[in-house]
Structure 1
């Protein structure tokens, strides 16, 4: 298995384990399944998906793997509910991906590398607030509950 794919699958499992821990005291239930994926870079593989259900057993949101290779990141998982969808991007490089640009200089132009997203420190899962603004937020318990509530319109007590 390719190392990039292995990293994506391991980090997806780690994210889901954190989500299960965060949601444990809330009364919602979680079901997991493996979904078939097909990417040009990696071929066919299976990846974990997760459905989050309210106390009555109705699905309120789903964590769905999208790709292990994406532009601007090292993998993607979508959080989808009845009201919104949020894209979570895996960034494995400290500081996040770099973008090549050019600045005018006295002798023509100078090549510069800048961070694609502001707010990226350590590797992990990030929610990109706005591509135009380039602001990323690391997914933690507080942010996840905010995203999940927005996606599902479910009120956590």
Structure 2
């Protein structure tokens, strides 16, 4: 039983790291025409699953002005199956990897209701306002908005 749990933990870590790397490739595709500089560095982090290595990514303009620093936070969160932090001088935002059905809570009646609204399919989501629980799937347009929120860089 313990060996099976260890295998599942390692599988969860690897799945999370794979999802993070796939997201980084998607970002590079979305921003390809902008000719930004992407740099990756190894990152050691710790969460419920233990300590492991991931990849941080920075996105800079050609003049080396930082637009965003992406930091994998961990494979587990209360809201989903992974978190990436997006940081710069103006602030920070978080995106969460949500399974297809999203996380649910069980009401006293036995009914299961979603914690977040707007999770339609599996993928990375940004929660605009935690009080309303409104989640938005990260697409190119939203990604540009998130960079603007943390860096004040305006895309034209």
Structure 2 counterpart of 1:6: 14
- 1 CA distance for matches of 2:130 and 2:65? 32
Q: 1:107 — aligned with what?
A: none
1:138 and 2:137 aligned: yes
Indicate conservation of the 8 Å contact 1:60/1:82, yes or no: no
What is the aligned partner in structure 2 of residue 153 from structure 1? Answer: 152
Q: CA deviation at 1:81?
A: 1.5
Residue number in structure 2 paired with 1:114: 113
Structure whose alpha-carbon radius of gyration is higher: 1
Q: CA deviation at 1:57?
A: 1.2
Could you tell me which runs of 5 or more consecutive residues in structure 2 were left unpaired when the two chains were aligned: 1-6
Q: Does 1:95 align with 2:101?
A: yes
1:78 aligns with 2:77: no
Residue 62 of structure 2, aligned match among 55, 58, 69 = 55
1:147 Cα offset (Å): 0.8
Tell me the equivalent position of 1:26: 34
Secondary structure in 2 aligned to 1:111? coil
State the shift of 1:154 in Å: 1.1
**What secondary structure, in the 3-state scheme, does the structure 2 residue paired with 1:57 have?**
coil
Q: Is the 8 A contact 1:26 1:156 kept in 2?
A: no
* Residue-by-residue CA offset, 1:103-128 (whole Å, 9 max, x unaligned): xxxxxxx2211011110011110001
- 1:153 deviates by 0.8
**Structure (1/2) with the larger strand percentage:** 1
**Which of 36, 43, 48 is 1:35 aligned to?**
43
Q: Which residue of 1 aligns with 2:75?
A: 68
